[in-house]
Amino acid sequence: MKSRPKVSLVGAGNIGSTIAHIIAQNEIADLVMLDVVEGMPQGKALDLFEAAPVDGYDVKIIGTNSYEDTQGSDVIVITAGITRKPGMSRDDLLATNAKIMKDVAKNCATHSPNAKVIVVSNPLDVMTYVASSVSGYPRSSVMGMAGVLDSARFSSFVANEINVSVSDVNALVLGGHGDSMIPLIRYCTVGGVPVTNFLSENVLDEIVKRTRFAGGEIVSMLKTSAYYSPATAVVSMVKAILFDKRKVITCAAYLNGEYGLEDVYIGVPVILGKNGVEKIIEVELEDSEREELHNTATVIKEMIGKVS
């Protein structure tokens, strides 16, 4: 009898533990929560175990400080690293998180050579490149979660402004996970109708601006990064892989010529399925959008150069 898939969360902090709770409650997979803090992942796993009878979920949940317990994972989610404090940019996390990511990625590959890996740690695009490069996983097996979150933030603001269901808004946000992300208004629809039928250019520009700085807006209130929306975005990617949904989403994927870019991870639309990034979708970009994408890729490559 096929056992449940196995998902390991490397980093059992705010996002990692929220992911664990969503996956457990929906009986998506057995879980391993790994962290460097002694006792913390074990305590959170025990807490989730004790909640199970209330919701009736029968997944196995282990908390650990040892990679042996992650052996043979189908999907690994990496949130390990430090998070932003008010006034910090995602780029300020570069040196510390790159060092952590190199160690984590090697350990993941050693114990789960066939896993698909979703990187969450910031600066996202660079961390995904580092994880992919040091682990030796196929490039299509390593991806970064950002576009699903950025597109969701954009869609929330649009739905709120028009006063329609959030499930009717479809948005596409390309580029780096940072202040230079590129929400493509041209590709945003509401129930299949272009968003420009509902909102003026000025209102849409304001929404684009708010989307770009949405992460910082939450950090300024929470004094740490968002975690409910990132965790929810990650779980949708985990399901796309485990259930081979061939979902069309935006995520940080490895480009090898697509969009005129080489050897870089950056947010683009992909088909996500059991093999990870099944296909990269090249959408038509206006010259200004293409220039923005290339400029962001240049910044990402400069940061990669600093940590390689």
- Kindly state whether residue 83 participates in binding ligand TXD, applying the rule CB under 6 A: yes
Coil, strand or helix at 271: strand
Q: For ligand TXD, give the closer residue by CB, 107 or 199.
A: 107
Q: Which of 7, 8, 16, 174 binds ligand TXD (CB under 6 A)?
A: 16
Q: For ligand TXD, give the closer residue by CB, 94 or 190.
A: 94
- Kindly state whether residue 21 participates in binding ligand TXD, applying the rule CB under 6 A: no
What is the nearest approach in angstroms of ligand TXD to the Cβ of residue 176?
11
Q: Which residues neighbour 127 within 8 Å (Cβ) at sequence distance 6 or greater?
A: 78, 81, 97, 98, 101, 119, 121, 144
Q: For ligand TXD, give the closer residue by CB, 124 or 158.
A: 124
Q: Which residues neighbour 249 within 8 Å (Cβ) at sequence distance 6 or greater?
A: 147, 148, 151, 236, 237, 240, 269, 270, 272
- What CA–CA distance (Å, rounded) separates 248 from 250? 7
What is the nearest approach in angstroms of ligand TXD to the Cβ of residue 101?
8
Helix, strand, coil abundance in the chain, percent, nearest 5 = 50, 20, 30
- Kindly state whether residue 181 participates in binding ligand TXD, applying the rule CB under 6 A: no
Q: Which of 226, 293, 300, 303 binds ligand TXD (CB under 6 A)?
A: 226
- Kindly state whether residue 177 participates in binding ligand TXD, applying the rule CB under 6 A: yes
Range list of β-strands (E), the chain: 6-10, 30-34, 61-64, 75-78, 116-119, 142-144, 169-170, 173-174, 182-183, 189-190, 193-194, 247-256, 262-273, 276-280
- Kindly state whether residue 128 participates in binding ligand TXD, applying the rule CB under 6 A: no
Q: Is residue 177 among the annotated active site residues?
A: yes
Q: Which of 80, 238, 242, 297 binds ligand TXD (CB under 6 A)?
A: 80
Q: Which residues bind ligand TXD (CB under 6 A)?
A: 10-16, 34-37, 79-81, 83-84, 93, 97, 100, 103-104, 120-122, 124, 145-146, 149, 177, 224-227, 230
